[in-house]
């Protein structure tokens, strides 16, 4: 038994555990305000790519196939049409996009005065106009 497609071996579980710990560490950095702009940008890009990969709702829209619903309590194993499957994935895709938007707001506006990074005042962004 190897770690091929569809096989969950110890290697796959180890990688998932390490990635989960890394993401928890990055989230903790955002919470305490240490390197929050860069970490928030990294988390936003990661979350965007994960949402595009896991919830490709636009691929289901124009299909005429039926799909087996998985991961929805009460609908496990039901055959649904393509529009229902697209609607299911669209919900989770845009739920992830709202979190990406919040992380991008943190990148633009900064973590605030209580953060570790900006205790001496806000960091000047290169795009701000220099005052004369």
Length of the chain: 132
Question: What is the spatial distance between Cα 122 and Cα 132, in angstroms, rounded to a whole number?
Answer: 19
**124 DSSP 8-state letter:** P
A 10 A CB-CB count for 130 gives 5
What does pTM read for this prediction?
Answer: 0.72
Is the C-alpha dihedral spanning 61, 64, 66, 67 positive or negative?
Answer: negative
Question: What is the spatial distance between Cα 123 and Cα 132, in angstroms, rounded to a whole number?
Answer: 18
Cβ contact 110:35 at 8 Å: no
- Digit-by-digit pLDDT tens for the chain (132 residues) are 444 455 567 777 888 889 889 999 999 988 888 888 899 999 999 999 989 988 888 888 888 898 888 877 888 888 988 888 888 889 999 999 999 999 999 999 888 777 777 766 656 666 656 555
């Amino acid at each position: 038994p190897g770690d091929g497609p569809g096989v969950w071996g110890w290697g796959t579980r180890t990688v998932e555990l390490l990635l989960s710990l890394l993401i928890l560490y990055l989230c903790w950095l955002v919470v305490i305000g240490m390197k929050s702009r860069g970490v928030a940008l990294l988390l936003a890009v990661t979350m965007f790519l994960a949402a595009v990969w896991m919830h490709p709702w636009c691929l289901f829209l124009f299909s005429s196939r039926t799909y087996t619903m998985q991961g929805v309590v009460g609908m496990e194993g039901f055959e649904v049409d393509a529009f229902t499957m697209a609607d299911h994935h669209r919900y989770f895709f845009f739920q992830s996009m709202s979190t990406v938007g919040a992380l991008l707001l943190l990148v633009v506006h900064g973590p605030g005065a209580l953060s570790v990074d900006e205790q001496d005042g806000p960091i000047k962004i290169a795009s701000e106009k220099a005052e004369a």
